[in-house]
Structure formats: structure tokens, C-alpha cells
Amino acid sequence: MNRVQEPFALYVHIPYCAKKCPYCDFNSYATESQAGSLEEEARYTRALITELQHFAAKESWAGRKISTVFFGGGTPSLFSAGAISEILEAANELFPFVENAEVTLEANPGSLQEELALERLRGFRQGGVNRISLGAQSFSDRKLKLLGRLHSAEDTRRALALVKESGFRNMSLDLIFAVPDETPEEWQHDLDQALSFPLNHISAYGLTIEPGTEFYKREKRGGFFALDEEVQEVLFRQAQSELARAGFCQYEISNYAKAEYECRHNLAYWRGMDYLGIGAGAHSYLGVPRARLAENDFSLYGQRWINLLNPRTYCISVEENGNSVQRSEEIDRDKALLEFFFLGFRTQEGISSERFSGLFKDSLETRYADTLKELKDFEIIEKKENSWALSARGRIMLDSVLERFACS
């Protein structure tokens, strides 16, 4: 199959939030009002569709199908059902969706408290969204307050009930652990609460302090104390065992799913598939056609680009040029190698020997014989049928494993 026939993943970035959270380093901007300005929503929606049309006219994307769509943010659930439906309709017209395409929308519990929330959720569903990912973060009001979230644990419970009532059967929940002063008991309460709802996917992220965030500034001033690594590890292992007990498989370092409910969109990233990102600050990746690698042309592995970050500047650029690419980079063999390990080791399926030889015309087992042996002897990685993956123990050592391969 050449690339022109291969489906791709579509990411749609909605950069608006009711308030900027102090730990957030995503490309998101606080809106004046809960729903944002309707005028802004309409202009941004038009820009997204123009951007889709721009890429539909490009040889690399024309005629291809969409396998998954992910509305991320920001807070996509601040947008109206009409705007989300309009974007999906335009995408489907330009790049027909594969059968059973996964269409996810990220929602914030705080954005689903108003009277018409149920109607809006039903509208998302009618427009083609079939999976909701709810940014709960915690069921502890202490943690939510510390994280600067506007919603309460009760708001999350209400939002989950509404999502269910509106007919969604594919629901995911985001949780954050390792916030200051968090104990295993508090984390257990989060896990128990999450498991009391009919979820089929849970993302559990350890809190990280990213440069440029409010937490980063507080940490620099000495007024913020992150949990030490040993406690973080205890909480990570707790999530692993509790979620496994409840039938969730850890298919990626921070992601757990019931069988058949892995997020196909994220798997596309980790498997190195092409993805088109539209919207302010969205990233895209386009690999070179496999035929070129088969012909031993290894000069270029792919191209990645990022859009302008600011939503207004993004809109102006798309209105003038059809796109808003801010910068792009070419992926050469060295970068492709690093990405192969970085993305592959995140997942339960791991790095495939066959894929390695297809991409790099080399044998993984020969080229990295010593490294593979050493990591296997320390039970950090495991050999699967035709691949290598991090062991349960190794999943908290991803950075060290990558360093080891980079130096080999």
C-alpha cells in the first residue's frame, strides 16, 4: 500500500479555556466568558475549514481517508455543537472517514455545568463525535484547588452522568497524580472513584513542572514542593496495579484501556503514522512514502511542522495564505532513529524488529545487541514475539532507556 492510499489521523486544536491552569504548558488561552465569543468561534471554525481545504489540494494528502479525529485543546467542549459538526462535515467531505472512524472530543467538567450541557453533548454526538475524554484530573477537591481547576469533584460526577445520558459509550477520563502532599490514600480515592464509573479508558499522568508555567515560577521562588521521586514511583505503581486489577491494560506509559478501547488516535502517533494537525499551534507529521525507503533512498524520513501559536495570528495567516505553518523540520535518519525508540518504547507493543529493518535496513538485534542484552538482564525490557517492550518495572525508566540507545 503506498502512502496515498493510507488513512491518516486528524488533530483539531481548540485553544480556548475558561481559565489558564497554573501547571498547563499547552497552547491554550483564557477566554473572556465561559463560551468564548461566538464571533471568535465562527472565525476560528472558518479558518480550520480553510486549512483543511488547503491540505486537501496538496498531493501528499489529497484522496486520502481519515482514520481518527481528535479535538484537543484547550477546551474543545467550550465550542458549540454546531461548530464541531461543521468541522467534521467539512473534514468528511474532503477526506472521507474510514468505517468506524474514532472521533474524540476533549471535555472539561467545568464546561458541562450549564443548563444546556446535555443538549450540547447530544449535538456533539449527532455531529459525529463518538468518544469523550473528560479532563477530571482528580476527585479530591484539595488536589483540584491546588491544580487551579475551576471544577469540583461533584462537577465531574455530574458531567460523567451527562455524558452517559447523552448516549456516549466510549468514555475516557484524565487523572493527575503526584501533586504536592499527595498520599497513596488520596490517590486511591481518585482511582476508586474513577473505577466506579463505566469508563473504558483512563489516562493517569504524573504532574510535571514545565518551564513557563505558573507552577514553574512558584517552584523557582521556592514556594512549591514537588513530590520526591520515590513517592511518585509508589503512586505510579499503585495506578498500574489498581487499574490492572480492574481489567485495564497499560497499553502506554500513561494510558490504560479495557480490551479494544485503546485510543486509536494516540496509537497512530506512537506508531509513526501520518497525522495532520489543524488549528493554532497544531503539529503535523508526514512520513516519506515507503516505496522511497524500499528503493534505498534514506535521505529523508519525513517532515514535521507546527502552526502559529496565537489563535488570532493563526486566523489571519490562514485567511491570507490558506495555512499558518510557523516552522517545519526535516526528519533525517538520526532523528528518525531517536523517534523510533522514543515512540515505540512508550507502548505496550514496543519496538518491532521487522519495522526497524524495514525503516533502517539494518537488524535491531545485531546493531543493538549489547544494549538489548544489558536491559533485558536487568529486567527493564522484555522480548516479545517479534519486538521489545519496557517491562512493568521499566516503564518508569523510559528516559534512561532512551539515553542508553542514543549512546549505543
> Within 132-161, which residues bind ligand SF4 (CB under 6 A)?
135
Is the four-CA dihedral 182, 183, 189, 192 of positive or negative sign? positive
CB of 136 to ligand SF4, least distance (A): 11
CB of 180 to ligand SF4, least distance (A): 17
Q: Which three cell numbers stand for residue 192?
A: 476508586
State yes or no: residue 20 binds ligand SF4 (CB under 6 A): yes
Nearer to ligand SF4, 179 or 396 (CB): 179
Q: Which residue has the cell 463525535?
A: 129
Nearer to ligand SF4, 66 or 121 (CB): 121
State yes or no: residue 80 binds ligand SF4 (CB under 6 A): no
* Burial of residue 334, with CB atoms counted within 10 A of its CB: 0-12 exposed, 13-18 middle, 19 or more buried: exposed
For 73, which DSSP code?
E
Q: Which residue has the cell 460523567?
A: 160
State yes or no: residue 108 binds ligand SF4 (CB under 6 A): yes
E strands in 51-96:
66-73
Q: Looking at 3, 6, 26, 316, which residue binds ligand SF4 (CB under 6 A)?
A: 26
CB of 36 to ligand SF4, least distance (A): 12
Which span (13-21, 119-127, 254-262, 369-377) binds ligand SF4, by CB under 6 A? Answer: 13-21
State yes or no: residue 282 binds ligand SF4 (CB under 6 A): no
The Cα 372–Cα 54 span in angstroms is 44
The Cα 74–Cα 148 span in angstroms is 15
Q: Looking at 10, 24, 78, 129, which residue binds ligand SF4 (CB under 6 A)?
A: 24
Nearer to ligand SF4, 172 or 347 (CB): 172
Which span (54-62, 68-76, 78-86, 249-257) binds ligand SF4, by CB under 6 A? Answer: 68-76
State yes or no: residue 279 binds ligand SF4 (CB under 6 A): no
State yes or no: residue 28 binds ligand SF4 (CB under 6 A): yes
User: Parallel, antiparallel, or unpaired for β 387-390 and 351-352?
Assistant: antiparallel
Which span (21-29, 93-101, 240-248, 280-288) binds ligand SF4, by CB under 6 A? Answer: 21-29
Q: Which three cell numbers stand for residue 81?
A: 455543537
Helices (H), 95-183: 117-126, 141-146, 153-165
CB of 245 to ligand SF4, least distance (A): 29
Using DSSP's 3-state secondary structure scheme, residue 139 falls into coil
Number of residues that bind ligand SF4 (CB under 6 A): 11
The Cα 52–Cα 46 span in angstroms is 10
Q: Looking at 74, 76, 123, 311, which residue binds ligand SF4 (CB under 6 A)?
A: 74
Which span (39-47, 71-79, 232-240, 338-346) binds ligand SF4, by CB under 6 A? Answer: 71-79
> Within 236-265, which residues bind ligand SF4 (CB under 6 A)?
none
State yes or no: residue 73 binds ligand SF4 (CB under 6 A): yes
Instruction: Tell me how far apart the terminal alpha carbons of the chain are, to the nearest angstrom.
Output: 33
Q: Which three cell numbers stand for residue 127?
A: 455531529
Q: Which three cell numbers stand for residue 18?
A: 475558561
Contact 170, 44 (CB under 8 A): no
Bond before 148 cis per omega within 30 degrees: no
Nearer to ligand SF4, 94 or 160 (CB): 160
State yes or no: residue 75 binds ligand SF4 (CB under 6 A): yes
For 164, which DSSP code?
H
The site for ligand SF4 (CB under 6 A) is made up of 17, 20-21, 24, 26, 28, 73-75, 108, 135
